Amino acid sequence: MKRNNIVKPTIGVVAATALFAAGLPGAAAAGSGDDFHGAAATKAQYGVIFQLDSGGNAAIKKTLNNIENILHDPRLAKKLKVELIANSHGFDVYVKNNGFEDKLRHLQQQGVILAQCNNTLKELKVSRNDLYPFISIVPSGMGEITIREAEGWAYIHPAAPNPNRL
C-alpha cells in the first residue's frame, strides 16, 4: 500500500515536469543540438563589466581571455561595451612590466575600458606611477560595479583556475 503512495506522487511530478517543459519556448530546441545556436542578441546595445580582484597570472589570463572571447562573439558585434575593473590584488593586471601591456593595449584599442579602484591604491599603498599610464582610475571599484549594474550592464567575476581540477 505504501508503495503505491510513493509511486503516484513520483509519476505526478514527472508528468508535471514534462508538461511544464513542453510549454517552455525553446525547450525542445535547447536539447536538439544542431537546432540551437545560442541566444539571439536582440538588444541594440549590451554592456558587461568584468571584475578582477585577485592577482597572479592564472587569474589575470583567465579574465583577459574571457574578455577576448566575448569581444569575438559574432552575435555581439558592434553592440558591446566592456569594462575591466581591478580592485584589491587585481591591480596586478595593470602593474608596469608585468607582461600584459600588449594585451591590455590591444583590448583598449578594441574599446575596452580599463579601470582601477583608487581605494585599492590607497589601502595597499600602490603608486599611480607603478601602473601603466593608459589605465583610468575610478574612486571605488564597488561603486563602479554598482553604477554599471544599475545601468543594465552584466557583471562577470571570473574565478582563478583551480590547479587541482581538470
Residue 108 contacts by C-beta under 8 Å, 6 or more apart in sequence?
114, 134
Count how many domains the chain has: 2
Same domain, 62 and 28: no
Q: What is the CATH number of the domain that holds 144?
A: 3.40.1260.10
Interatomic CA distance for residues 79 and 47, integer angstroms: 8
Asked if residue 164 belongs to a domain, the reply is: no
Interatomic CA distance for residues 68 and 86, integer angstroms: 17
Same domain, 69 and 95: yes
- DSSP-H helix ranges across the chain: 2-22, 27-30, 57-71, 101-109, 118-123, 141-150
- Give the cell for residue 2: 505504501
Whether this prediction's pTM lies above 0.75 is answered by yes
**Enclosing domain of residue 25:** 1-38
Asked if residue 74 belongs to a domain, the reply is: yes
Backbone angles phi, psi at 155, to 5 degrees: -120, 125
Asked if residue 146 belongs to a domain, the reply is: yes
Same domain, 7 and 51: no
Same domain, 114 and 131: yes
pLDDT one digit per residue (tens) for the chain, 166 residues: 444 444 444 444 444 444 444 454 544 445 566 788 899 999 999 999 999 999 999 999 999 999 999 999 999 999 999 999 999 999 999 999 999 999 999 999 999 999 999 999 999 999 999 999 999 999 999 999 999 999 999 999 997 666 666 5
User: Residue 48 in contact with residue 153, Cβ under 8 Å?
Assistant: yes
Interatomic CA distance for residues 137 and 132, integer angstroms: 11
Closest CA to 54 of 86, 77, 81, 79: 86
Asked if residue 140 belongs to a domain, the reply is: yes
Asked if residue 165 belongs to a domain, the reply is: no
